[in-house]
């Protein structure tokens, strides 16, 4: 099989071919770079391509393999990283003009783990600026086009990461998920996307948006591929104060457990009037597949779901207001060329460097934290967050995992909601609650698509630290529909 044809196969198949020496990492990386060069002017999935370093890393891996050295579970496959993830010597912009020239002197922990596992980082992927968006139209480097239908959005904020997998530029990419930014693009592009339990994967070296919500996770073509990636990424990091202590169990080891006797919770609040009928029907059909496989469907309630979006946009914007205060034109990042005095330099640098959505969220967050409004907004939102977490805890007393649509709609048209921020925010109505509760959750493609042939995402949510349970349920469904 040619290296170019191998790009269309799964991560698992690429690793097997590399280990069997049917192809070299250098050839596979060269093929990936060629495909990126062909498609990126049209799709705009990537911001920075690291051709020289990628080919050098691939050649080094091939030399190690020839010498009989152990390579690692990723075995020399090309990998793309969302541009929120710092990479030593490689520009990291967060898709913002304010970081256009920033070159980190270090790797984020997740980037280092990818490299140590044998992954070849080929470049940095487009996103909404500072991960603030649901359509990848807020990037300073232009919108990403969905490979399934190039008139449509790939979702956001990890739109470039999802598009790169869908276009088969890389079998594995990394994204970040704050309120749905891995799962919603996965749904729109028809790929698998996983947000682990908060604290399960290190955030050290990842540009911060909302620190109590941000989490790194993989996007892949298959559930098995996602499990392999999770085993590489998960684990305690002493550099991250929120990192969970202790060695996690292998997620890949749970792939074949099946769903016999599994109780799957169905939340009525996720099949509401706002959910597109075709989306709801596809998800219900997937649920009937689970019943056929031996799972039991259980009705559960998450009554505070209607308050999740408002809660999220108070907490996330407040944390963003604090985190983005560091971009002042002094320590790093863009500095305005013309200014009079320090305060004017701060104001002009931020005005020139931040896009409209980032400015909107910073202003919202600053207001919510201001004297006289803190208790009424931010503190109240934190209390509602607790209620949302308790809803999930009660639901998991009756079930093992929860299943629901990932998004209420399929991929929206580019430009369709740009002028209406509230409608854009509502795209994440089904992903935000689990983020607020810090739960592991994922999106995988339903067997059915909508009438226009657009992908529909099935979302699975598990109790804290139960990534294995979630992955085993996803793998059972994927095997059934792929072999059916």
Q: In the prediction, which pLDDT does 483 show? A: 64
Pull the structure tokens for residue 47. 């911001």
Query: Which of 88-97, 206-215, 365-374 has the least mean pLDDT?
Result: 365-374
| 157 assigned to active site | yes
Three-state secondary-structure class, residue 466 = coil
Which are the contacts of 321, defined by CB distance < 8 A and separation ≥ 6?
Answer: 361, 362, 364, 365, 366, 368, 369
**Over the chain, what is the mean pLDDT?**
96
| 82 assigned to active site | yes
In this prediction, residues 396-420 reach a mean pLDDT of 97
Choice among 82, 96, 135, 435 that is catalytic: 82
pLDDT at 240 over 80: yes
Q: In the prediction, which pLDDT does 69 show? A: 95
Counting residues of the chain whose pLDDT is more than 90, the rounded percentage is 95
Question: pLDDT (tens digit, 9 = 90+) per residue, 66-87?
Answer: 999 999 999 999 999 999 999 9
Q: In the prediction, which pLDDT does 201 show? A: 98
pLDDT at 95 over 80: yes
- Residue identified by tokens 């640098």 is 349
For residue 1, name the pLDDT band (cuts at 50, 70, 90): confident
Bridge partners, 195 (sequence order):
441
Choice among 157, 187, 321, 435 that is catalytic: 157
Question: pLDDT (tens digit, 9 = 90+) per residue, 261-287?
Answer: 999 999 999 998 789 999 999 999 999
Q: In the prediction, which pLDDT does 372 show? A: 87
Pull the structure tokens for residue 77. 């496959």
Which are the contacts of 234, defined by CB distance < 8 A and separation ≥ 6?
Answer: 196, 200, 201, 248, 251, 467
pLDDT at 484 over 80: no
Q: In the prediction, which pLDDT does 225 show? A: 98
Pull the structure tokens for residue 460. 């699975």
Choice among 181, 243, 407, 435 that is catalytic: 181
| 250 assigned to active site | no
Query: Which domains are delineated in the chain?
Result: 3-251 (3.90.1300.10)
CA gyration radius, the chain: 21
Classify residue 261 by burial, with Cβ atoms within 10 Å: 0-12, 13-18, 19+: exposed
Q: Which helix (H) or strand (E) holds 17?
A: helix 11-19
Q: How far apart are CA 369 and CA 363, in angstroms?
A: 10
Q: In the prediction, which pLDDT does 300 show? A: 98
């Amino acid at each position: 099989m040619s290296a170019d044809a191998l790009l269309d196969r799964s991560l698992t198949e690429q690793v097997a071919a590399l280990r069997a020496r049917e192809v070299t990492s250098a050839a596979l990386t060269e093929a990936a770079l060629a495909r990126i060069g062909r498609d990126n002017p049209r799709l705009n999935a990537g911001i920075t391509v690291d051709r020289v370093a990628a080919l050098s890393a691939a050649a080094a891996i091939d030399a190690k393999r020839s010498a009989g050295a152990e390579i690692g579970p990723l075995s020399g496959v090309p990998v793309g990283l969302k541009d929120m993830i710092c990479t030593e010597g490689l520009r990291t912009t967060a898709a913002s003009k304010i970081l256009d020239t920033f070159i980190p002197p270090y790797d984020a922990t997740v980037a280092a783990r990818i490299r140590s596992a044998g992954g070849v980082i080929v470049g940095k992927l487009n996103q909404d600026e500072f991960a603030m968006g649901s359509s990848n139209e807020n990037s300073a480097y232009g919108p990403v086009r969905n490979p399934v239908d190039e008139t449509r959005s790939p979702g956001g904020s990890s739109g470039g990461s999802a598009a790169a997998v869908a276009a088969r530029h890389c079998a594995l990419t990394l994204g970040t998920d704050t309120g749905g930014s891995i799962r919603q693009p996965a749904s729109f592009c028809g790929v698998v996307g996983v947000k682990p339990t908060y604290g399960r994967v290190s955030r050290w070296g990842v540009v911060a948006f909302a620190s109590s919500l941000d989490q790194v996770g993989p996007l892949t073509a298959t559930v098995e591929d996602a499990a392999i990636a999770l085993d590489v990424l998960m684990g305690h990091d002493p550099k991250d104060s929120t990192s969970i202590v202790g060695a996690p169990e292998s997620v890949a080891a749970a792939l074949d457990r099946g769903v016999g006797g599994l109780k799957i919770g169905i939340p009525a609040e996720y099949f509401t009037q706002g959910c597109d009928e075709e989306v709801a029907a596809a998800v219900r059909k997937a649920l009937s597949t689970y019943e056929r496989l031996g799972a039991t469907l259980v009705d559960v309630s998450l009554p505070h779901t209607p308050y999740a979006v408002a809660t999220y946009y108070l907490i996330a914007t407040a944390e963003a207001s604090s985190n983005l205060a560091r971009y002042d034109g002094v320590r790093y990042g863009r500095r305005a060329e013309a200014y009079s005095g320090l305060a004017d330099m701060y104001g002009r640098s931020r005005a020139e460097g931040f896009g409209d959505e980032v400015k909107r969220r910073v202003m919202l967050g600053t207001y919510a934290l201001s004297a006289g409004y803190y208790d009424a907004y931010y503190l109240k939102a934190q209390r509602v967050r607790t209620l949302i977490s308790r809803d999930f805890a009660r639901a998991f007393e009756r079930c093992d995992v929860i299943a629901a649509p990932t998004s209420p709609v399929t991929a929206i048209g580019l430009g369709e909601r740009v002028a209406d921020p509230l409608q854009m925010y509502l795209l994440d109505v089904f992903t935000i609650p689990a983020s607020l509760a810090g739960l592991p959750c994922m999106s995988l493609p339903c067997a059915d698509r909508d009438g226009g042939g657009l992908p529909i995402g099935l979302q699975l949510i598990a109790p804290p630290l139960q990534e294995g349970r979630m992955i085993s349920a996803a793998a059972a469904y994927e095997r059934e529909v792929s072999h059916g």
